[in-house]
Amino acid sequence: MTNRIIGYVRVSTDGQDEALQIDALERYAEAQGKALVLYADKVSSRKVRLQLDEAMKAMTSGDTFAVYKLDRLARSTRELYELTDAMKAQGVEFVSLSDSIDTNTANGRAMMGMLAVFAEFERDIISERTRAGLEAAKRRGRTGGRPAIDNKTKRQVKALFEAGESATDIAKEYGIGRSTIYKILNEEKTAGK
C-alpha cells in the first residue's frame, strides 16, 4: 500500500488534547485523496517516543510523512534534519501543515536545505562550547569525570556487600551509582585471581 499519509501526532500530557492535530491531518489526507495512517504519542518530547519510531518504520517509498507542526516532531533543528533526511532516503516526502513546509515543492525543499545548514551550525556551536569548557576546566586543573574512589572506600564497599547489604543501599550510603558498586566488586574479584 503506497501513497499514504503517515500522520504523526504528539501531545505532552494526558491533559492535552490531540484532536486539533488529528483533525488537521485528516483534512490534509482527504484533500490529497490518500489514506491516513495515524501514530500518536502522549509523552514529553524528551522521552522515548515509541509511536514516532513505529511511524518511521512504517514508511515506504511514495508515502508522505505529515505533522501538524514541526515542534510536534523534533526537539532540535538537528533532530528535525536527521528525521527528514531518513525520510528522504526512503523516498518519503515531508509536510508540516502549520509551518507550510512541503518537500514536494521547490520552496519546501529549499526550506529543508536551510534547516540542514542550521542543524550543522547548531552541532558546531555545541561542539565549540564543549571544547571551550573542557579547555577552561583543564587550565584550572580539573580533568573532568568523577573523582577516583580510594582503596579504603573500596574495602568498605566490599565488606558491606559481603555482610549482606544491597548494592542499592551501599550506593546511597556512599553517594555513588549502583553500577560503580558492581565495578568495585568485580575489581576485587579480578585482583584476587
Write out the catalytic residue numbers. Answer: 12
Strand ranges (E), the chain: 5-11, 36-42, 64-67, 93-96, 101-102
| Type of residue at 7 | G
The CA-based dihedral angle spanning residues 172, 177, 127, 43, taken in that order and rounded to the nearest 10 degrees: -80
Paired sense of beta strands 101-102 and 93-96, if any: antiparallel
CB count within 10 Å of CB 178 equals 14
* 8 Å CB contact between 64 and 92: yes
3-state secondary structure of 70: helix
- Asked if 176 and 149 touch (Cβ cutoff 8 Å), the reply is yes
Grid cell at residue 119:
542543524
